[in-house]
């Protein structure tokens, strides 16, 4: 029960932050990526603001256990594989096309009209198709 309440609380903070920061406004997100246009730096402030508590949290996690049990994630791997780069390029392209990434797509579901629902449905389909895509990538890599 503790884990569920903490998850609900974390999600509420995340959703509120996305809404208030302006990151559910696709014009601001595209404005940040559109460096040749009328550049909008807001996303950099959001990222900077988010990194501060998070960096502190990683520090606090050292030598401790999570409050609701379990263990902390393993130290990050330094493996830069094909999946990481290819997936990120596909993601970045879609992100720029609509100005939405998974967090804001969820946070704005209640006020993003049919467009937000359509994007979310397509994103959900993409996520369900991803395991198939990954299997083919791995097979192609094994044959190469």
Partner 1 sequence: METDWIWGLGGGLLIGLGGAVYLLGNGRIMGASGILGGLLDGSGRNTAAERTAFIAGVIGMPLLIGLLTGGTPDTHVTSNAAVLVLAGLLVGVGTRVANGCTSGHGVCGISRLSLRGISATAAFMLAGILTLAVLRQLLGVI
- 20-49 residues in contact with partner 1 (CB under 8 A) are 20-28, 30, 33-37, 40-49
Question: For residues 2 and 5, what is the distance between their CA atoms, to the nearest angstrom?
Answer: 5
**Would you count residue 139 as binding partner 1 (CB under 8 A)?**
no
Q: Show the tokens assigned to 102.
A: 């998974």
For residues 57-86, which are near partner 1 according to CB under 8 A?
57-58, 60-61, 65-73, 76-80, 83-86
Q: Show the tokens assigned to 107.
A: 């946070």
- Size, binding site for partner 1 by CB under 8 A: 117
Smallest distance, partner 1 to C-beta of residue 140, A: 13
For residues 94-123, which are near partner 1 according to CB under 8 A?
94-103, 105-113, 115-116, 118-123
Between 109 and 143, CB nearer to partner 1? 109
CA neighbours closer than 13 Å in the CB half-sphere of residue 56: 5
Question: For residues 106 and 117, what is the distance between their CA atoms, to the nearest angstrom?
Answer: 9
Which of 8, 139, 140, 141 is close enough to bind partner 1 by CB under 8 A?
A: 8
Those residues with Cβ within 8 angstroms of residue 31's Cβ, 6 or more apart along the chain or in another chain: 37, 38, 39, 40, 42
Smallest distance, partner 1 to C-beta of residue 143, A: 18
Complete DSSP assignment for 49-109: HHHHHHHHHHHHHTT---TTSS-PPPPPP----HHHHHHHHHHHHHHHHHS--HHHHHHTT
**Would you count residue 4 as binding partner 1 (CB under 8 A)?**
yes
Smallest distance, partner 1 to C-beta of residue 40, A: 8
**Would you count residue 140 as binding partner 1 (CB under 8 A)?**
no
């Amino acid at each position: 029960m503790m884990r569920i309440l903490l998850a609900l609380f974390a999600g509420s903070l995340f959703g509120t932050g996305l809404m208030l920061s302006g990151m559910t406004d696709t014009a601001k997100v595209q404005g940040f990526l559109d460096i040749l246009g009328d550049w909008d730096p807001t996303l950099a402030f959001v990222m900077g603001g988010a990194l501060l508590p998070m960096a502190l949290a990683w520090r606090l996690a050292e030598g401790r256990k999570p409050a609701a049990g379990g263990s902390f994630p393993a130290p990050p791997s330094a493996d830069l594989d094909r999946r990481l780069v290819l997936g990120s390029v596909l993601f970045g392209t879609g992100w720029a096309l609509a100005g939405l990434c998974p967090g804001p797509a969820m946070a704005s579901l209640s006020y993003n009209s049919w467009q937000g629902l359509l994007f979310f449905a397509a994103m959900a389909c993409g996520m369900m198709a991803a395991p198939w895509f990954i299997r083919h990538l791995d097979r192609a890599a094994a044959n190469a």
